[in-house]
Structure formats: structure tokens, C-alpha cells
Structure 1
């Protein structure tokens, strides 16, 4: 029984050595891929050739969404929201991605409400300006001209002007009493001497 067991162990060891001797396994064993964007970018910077270096950096950017934070951990920048999110690793986990998507939906709703509010405010301002303009035009059309009260009326006679007492006359002042006194003298002359003959009579 010992001999067959030794043969089995020997065969297993030979298979293992053959597997480790393959170039692909040897490469995976002795080298490892970059852990995050920063490490990937450091490797890409060492690539010779500008085009090859640019292509390598693009691959790093596509492979890792997060960026290292100075205090530890990673941050993810969502350019659709123009906002950063803290994440645990170099890429968001499914739970973290779900939270980012929920925040983006809330962001879109806020943007929609802001747009509606701005449009409503602009419409209200236009209506207010139109109302003020209409009220101003109506006021101008209903305002009477300054000469309406005097239009069509003959000018007052000289005697009427003399009889008219200024509204701001002081009682017993000469300027206010003279027109009345002058009329009294004329009436007295008429009573004593009669009316003067009219012009042009023979």
C-alpha cells in the first residue's frame, strides 16, 4: 500500500511543478496588478512613448473610479452632480453606487423645481410690468386737459373783473374794497346826472 501512495504523491508533485512552470502562472505569481488609480498612474507614467503613456492612463481612469484621500479612504467625483462622495475602496460598491444614484435622482428633482420656480417668477414679473404699463396708459387717457374748464367760454367782462373779489383779500383792505367803492360812485353818478349819452348819437 505504501508504494502506490508514494506514486500518487509523486504524480501530484509533478503536475504542480508543471503548472507553476507555465509562463502565465509564473507572471501572475511574481507580479500583481495596481491596487488603485494612483498606483496604476505611477506605472503608466513609466511607459515609454507619449501615445502609449496616454493610453495607459486612460485605462487606469476606466478601471478605477475613486481617488485616494489624504486622510485615508477614497472619494468618487460624480460630474453629473458636480459633487464628491466618500467610498471605501478604489471603486464604489453596489450599495455605494445605489446611494450615489439616489442622490442624483434627488439632484435632478431639485434642478427641475428650480427651473419651474425661475420660469414662474419671470412670468409673474412680465405680468406685473404689463399691468403697470396698462394702468399708466389708462391714467394718461383719463386725465382731463388743463384747458378743459376754460374751453368755449368767453372771457369775462371788465366789470365782472372789477366786481370779482380776490379769494385771498384781507378784510377792509384798500385793494379789496376799491372795486366795490368804484361801482358805488358810478351808481351815484347815474342817479344824479343820468346815463351818459351813447357814442354816435346826434
Structure 2
């Protein structure tokens, strides 16, 4: 009877020891959970208390890898997706599977929009390039036409200005005999205007008789001088 009681008591003691060993890790795990950071901000506060700068940098990098979300002023968290350059509202410090799925779907839509915008930009650039080529061709054609027109204008003969022709009536000089005949025919005999030309002609004839020629008088003058 005593042996049975002692065996039961020893078995109970062994079971109690085993329970203590099993509960010890759970208690230790519970203590770690309560003391650990719950989000990025708590983790960053702990990293600020690091002794060295290197430890602080390493702990902040660990916080960034553990927690993707950041606290919002009004409560909740926000997740920034740098691939989309966009922020998403999430419930906890990290996106749940459902939230991550939604973020991935939005990223697919973003890629499709980006692809379309790239296609439109490429088409616009191609059209602009074609327009520039057409303008260059038009400018070349205009330059060629101008070069073809310029030699033709240079070869063109100058316009001849007609020289005025003298009137035969004006160019024809009236002879002295004709003048005398006209005056005689038009004047009235017995008047001074009609008789004076005759008298002047007679006086001229007398002067010619008494006046020697110039060719004969010149040698005599030269002889006298010598």
C-alpha cells in the first residue's frame, strides 16, 4: 500500500515538472510579445535608444523590413507603393492578404495605363517627326523653285527705250534764199520792213568789195612784223 502511494506521488511530481518545462517557453514567448514593438513607430522609438550609430541604423532597417505600414494621424495605417507612386489605406501595420491582393490589382491597372500612355506618346512623336519631314521637303522645293527663277530673270534682255526722232520740219534748216523769198513774198512793197532787207543786202555786198579777204591780209601783217 505504501509502495503504491509512493509511486503515485513520484508520478505526480514528474508530471508537475514536465508541465513546468512546457509552460516556461509559453510564458517567455508571452513576455516577448508584450515587450516587442507593435508597429514601425514603436520599433523606431526602440531603435533611437541604441548605444551606437551603427546599431541604430541596423535596427531601423530591421523595422522597415518588418512593418510596411505607417501610422495615420486619425488612426489606422497607410501603405506606400513606390512602384505606383501611390498610398493605400490598410487596417494594421502590414497589409493583409486581401489588402495585398487589391494593391496588386491596382498595380496591374497602373501598368496598363502606363502602357497606353507610352503608346500615345510614341504615336505623337512619330506624327511630329513626319510633319517636320514634310516641312523640310516643302522648304527644299521652294528653294529649288527660287533657284530656277533667278537665272531666267538674269538672262532676260533689258527693255529698249525708243529714242526720240527729230521732226523733219524742225531738223531741216531753212536756207537764206528761202528766208529771203518768204520775206519778199509776204511783205508789201514800199514799206520799210519790205525794203530794209534789200538795202541790208546791198550794204553787205559793198562791204565785201572794199574789205579784202582774211587770207590775203594775214601775210602782209606777218611781213610787217618781220
Does the pair score TM above 0.5? yes
Residue among 88, 91, 109 paired with 2:91: 88
Point out where structure 2 has 5 or more consecutive residues left out of the alignment.
173-226
Question: TM-score, normalised to structure 2's length?
Answer: 0.59
1:83 Cα deviation after fit: 0.9
Shift, 1:13, TM fit: 4.6
Hey, what's the Cα distance between the residues in 2 that align with 1:29 and 1:105?
41
Distance 1:146 1:27, change over 3 A: same
Q: Offset at 1:108?
A: 1.7
Runs of 4+ in 1 over 4 A off after TM superposition: 6-14
Matched, 1:155 2:155: no
Aligned to 1:85, the other structure's residue is in SS state strand
1:5-84 equivalent positions in 2, closer than 5 A: 13-20=16-23, 22=24, 24-32=25-33, 33-84=36-87
Which moved further from structure 2: 105-114 or 90-99?
105-114
Q: CA deviation at 1:107?
A: 1.5
Query: C-alpha separation between the residues in 1 aligned to 2:105 and 2:91?
Result: 18
Aligned counterparts of 2:16 and 2:150: Cα–Cα separation in 1: 119
- Classify the secondary structure of the residue corresponding to 1:48: coil
SS at match of 1:71: coil
User: What's the C-alpha RMSD, in Å, of the aligned pairs?
Assistant: 3.3
1:139 aligns with 2:138: no
CA distance in 2, matches of 1:28, 1:44: 21
Does 2:129 align with 1:126?
Answer: yes
Offset of residue 147 of structure 1: 6.3
> Which structure has the bigger radius of gyration?
2
Structure 2 counterpart SS, 1:76: strand
How far apart, CA to CA, are the structure 1 residues paired with 2:27 and 2:79?
A: 35
Q: TM-score, structure 1 length as denominator?
A: 0.66
User: By percentage of residues, which structure has more helix?
Assistant: 2
Alpha-carbon distance in 2 for matches of 1:62, 1:73: 19
State the Cα deviation string for residues 30-64 of structure 1 (Å, max 9, x = none).
33232111112222222322222222221111111
1:110-121 → structure 2 map (5 Å cutoff)? 110-121=113-124
Q: Distance in 2 between matches of 1:149 and 1:53?
A: 88
Q: Number of residue pairs matched? A: 162
Q: Distance in 2 between matches of 1:94 and 1:18?
A: 36
Question: Higher relative CO (CA 8 A, sep ≥ 6), structure 1 or 2?
Answer: 1
